[in-house]
Amino acid sequence: MTENHQGRRHHRAEPRWRIFLRQYRFELIWLSVVALGVFLILERMNIRVTLFRWVRDGISAAVHAIEHVDNVILAFVRNTTLSDAIGYVLILGALVAIAWRTRWRLMRTPSWTTIRCPQCDSEIHRVHRRVRDRFVGLLIPVNRYRCTNRECRWTGLRVTVPSRRRGHPATAPK
């Protein structure tokens, strides 16, 4: 992509086949599934037998793995004393409390919640999140922002706290 003298980007013409694929992707996928189904019904090779063996062997391996995990868990429980169980519960409770407190601190730390650029202190605006941002968002509510200053162009995550004023949550009353 190139920039013209007005700062706007102009795109190259997309090939027609790519436009066709984008528009009819859903139909093409299901047409391929139908074609595969017809092929599997009409073919005279041993594909059906091979697929049946794969499915049977996969199910058998999954059942054996579940039985093995079941045996390991059962042996672990049998060998666990009351003091061990109390210790596990205490450790788990402490880890959950630490994780909860860390989340709480992140959601209230001005350096993570201020809706200003951390590098140049300019205005920032929301942009589309990436896939990994959505995974982070499962634990802490975040949005992706980009600096409006053309010289800076910082991009990153900011923690969003719904109970605070929109715009400048770090300056809102606590």
Confirm whether 109 is domain-assigned: yes
Residue 14 gets the label, from left (phi > 0), alpha (psi -120 to 50) or beta, of beta
142 falls within a domain: yes
Q: How many structural domains comprise the chain?
A: 2
H helix intervals, the chain: 16-23, 25-42, 47-78, 82-108, 110-113, 131-137
Which DSSP symbol is given to 169? Answer: G
Distance CA(12)–CA(93), nearest Å, equals 56
Residue 63 lies in a domain: no
The verdict on residue 125 lying in a domain is yes
Q: Is this structure's pTM higher than 0.85?
A: no
Say if CB 161 and CB 118 are below 8 A apart. Answer: no
The residue assigned the tokens 């391996």 is: 61
Would you say residue 153 lies in a domain?
yes
SS3 157: strand
Q: Does 78 reside within a domain?
A: no
In angstroms and rounded to an integer, the radius of gyration of the C-alpha atoms of the chain is 28
> Residue-wise pLDDT tens for the chain (174 aa)?
444 455 556 667 888 888 888 888 999 999 999 998 888 788 777 777 888 899 999 999 999 999 999 999 999 999 999 999 999 999 999 999 999 998 888 888 888 888 888 889 889 999 998 999 888 888 888 899 999 988 988 998 888 876 554 444 444 444
Evaluate whether residue 25 is within a structural domain: yes
89 found inside a domain: no
In this prediction, residue 115 carries a pLDDT of 84
Q: Please give the residue range of the domain that contains residue 153.
A: 99-171
